[in-house]
Chains A and B, each alone.
Chain A
């Protein structure tokens, strides 16, 4: 695989926070690659470090108390971490756009929608106020917001969540970014509005050639949107795979557990499978496998040594060269490990 296929590469990122209770290791060794024009979903539960990961790419980690202790992130060839504020400002909002979970609190309540979007254009593209206004109207049309002319002069409190999310999308794509980071963009919205917003993101990806990082905890949204998926647990990526492999041949017991905890759609009502226990304390993360205490397949090794990341051979019928690798951070994929459900290649 040649590296120009990737717009964004993150290697071995680690982020800590100083708190009164001690040091929280929120992100511990996260690596992923975002393919050009594709969507990478980062999935995980609250506190797994998915939001901190993308916030550190955007320079949004407050330092102190936060600290990026390790790792690198490159957009094209340009480093994003540990760079001067001026250099970061030239990238953030321009080459990487971001939309947040709660549009009501992410937008400035004292500025009209139009002025907030125009601000980006004036700062990054040096537009005059009147040129920016024309452009904003065009952007709002693009996001299919109802009555865009009227929205220009309205304030966030006058709009619904769905409309605000459209306005935020307009803002994030105003400078034609290479990468769009969407942090739980539909979590605060109803399913019918979610469907509309996801469709909009897909259309924009096509028309603008956007590469999207989608943070979500909803596996339905992942299946709908993603080309590649990274599953995070306790500050680490425990499995990364092309979307079909992740759903049909999950390789990490945590991924398997997440799938089973969802009520299925089959007419036969099945008992929900439960992942017992709760995620580990990131003040003192377990030295070995973070999932060992909740895993149905734990071996003695899992509690004594941190698992390496293993690459799974692609299924025989796939075109392996065009897909991303399927990797899992789990001892069960060691060549000498006993057989287990996560190693059988059968669809689950």
Chain B
């Protein structure tokens, strides 16, 4: 494994000492050249997992190893500097994640400048190379983020992350703010770059069909827990966990005849609050198949079929 989280936890403490279990005991590794898709609904902890994995949040428990070495539980500025040329991230919001007062040139060059302690001017050729590689051009160098569309900004974000040639790229919902036709463009670009650079990708998203398109393995989170993990095609077409089954079945397909056959949604209620969780199955309250023990004992993630891990008492 290139990077591996074991029993990773991230809690946030609220006023009055109550705890938000954002990520609670998640073990997940990403191999070299592998793309792992991480899916879940809002509040499932998928973004928090991604950020805790690479040190943007301090860890509350568990550890992360990168090439076998344990990463710090709490990062210092020096730790980030050291890690930056190996691990990079692109963010969900292409509007909020680019400094509006910097030109595209300055934004993309910044990583190189800080790493190599070189002048802005000396990075020009490399910045132009990366601009072109993500489908923009040298004409864009002196422009500012507000002059670009969402899809173009996301391309700038990709160039900024990849110019230091990292090994691991965390993509935190990189397409959910984009239009359908632009989503396909960005996903295809990421796929091409991943292949040509031999990148490892953690692709975080809530759109299962897009994740299916890019990932080798798919991981599903619910309320801070990893509940299913396996090869993408297997999870997508033969989901084992009741939640994964309902999640995949809930997405309407662009096919009217198929939609007319659709049964009413089986899943009731909403994702509960992640504050002060009891030791029980996180999904028990909404699960149509829940049994008494689901409410008193938390299932662990275990291999139920070759390469397929599920956290459910019923399997």
Chain A residues at the B interface, C-beta cutoff of 8 Å: 45-46, 146, 160, 162-163, 190-196, 198-199, 217-224, 226, 243-244, 247-248, 257-259, 261-265, 267, 269, 271-275, 278
Contacts and interface: CB of A to CB of B under 8 A. Distances in A.
Given A223-B258, A223-B259, A224-B252, A195 B213 contact: no
Interface of B: 41-42, 149-152, 179-185, 187-188, 206, 209-210, 212-213, 233, 237, 246-247, 250-259, 262, 264-265, 267, 269-271
B20 to A, nearest CB: 15
Contacts, number: 110
Nearest to B286: A192
Contacts of B271: 190
Q: Which DSSP category, helix, strand, loop or mixed, fits chain B's interface?
A: helix
B180 A195 contact: no
B181 A274 contact: yes
A220 B180 contact: no
A45 B180 contact: yes
A190 B254 contact: no
Contacts of A261: 180-181, 183-184
Given A272-B184, A272-B187, A263 B259 contact: no
B254 A199 contact: no
B251 A190 contact: no
Contacts of B188: 271-272, 274
Given A45-B179, A45-B180, A262 B41 contact: no
Contacts of A218: 180, 252
Contact of B265 (A163, A199, A278): A199
A264 B187 CA distance: 14
Nearest to A272: B184
A195 B181 contact: no
B265 A192 contact: yes
Given A199-B265, A261-B180, A274-B185, 17 more contacts: A198-B252, A219-B254, A220-B253, A224-B252, A224-B259, A244-B256, A247-B255, A247-B256, A261-B183, A261-B184, A262-B180, A262-B184, A267-B237, A272-B184, A274-B184, A278-B151, A278-B152
A263 B255 contact: no
A264 B255 CA distance: 10
Given A192-B247, A193-B270, A220-B254, A269 B262 contact: no
B237 A221 contact: no
A191 B206 contact: yes
A274 B192 CA distance: 14
Given A191-B250, A191-B251, A192-B265, A275 B41 contact: no
A278 B148 CA distance: 11
A182 to B, nearest CB: 15
A191 B233 contact: no
Nearest to B269: A146
Contacts of A217: 179-180
Contact of B184 (A160, A193, A226, A273): A273
B262 A224 contact: yes
Contacts of A267: 233, 237
B213 A190 contact: no
A219 to B, nearest CB: 4
20 contacts: A46-B179, A192-B246, A193-B41, A193-B270, A195-B252, A199-B264, A220-B254, A221-B252, A244-B257, A248-B256, A261-B181, A262-B180, A263-B213, A265-B209, A265-B255, A267-B237, A269-B213, A272-B184, A272-B213, A278-B151
A284 to B, nearest CB: 16
A160 B273 CA distance: 10
A193 B252 CA distance: 12
A262 B270 contact: no
A244 B258 CA distance: 11
B270 A223 contact: no
A243 B256 contact: yes
A53 to B, nearest CB: 17
Contacts of B210: 263
Nearest to B213: A263
Contact of B254 (A194, A222, A275): A222
B45 to A, nearest CB: 14
Nearest 9 Cβ contacts at the A-B interface? A220-B252, A195-B265, A219-B254, A190-B41, A45-B179, A224-B252, A261-B184, A272-B184, A263-B209
A264 to B, nearest CB: 8
B255 A190 contact: no
Contacts of B253: 220, 223, 265
Nearest to B178: A46
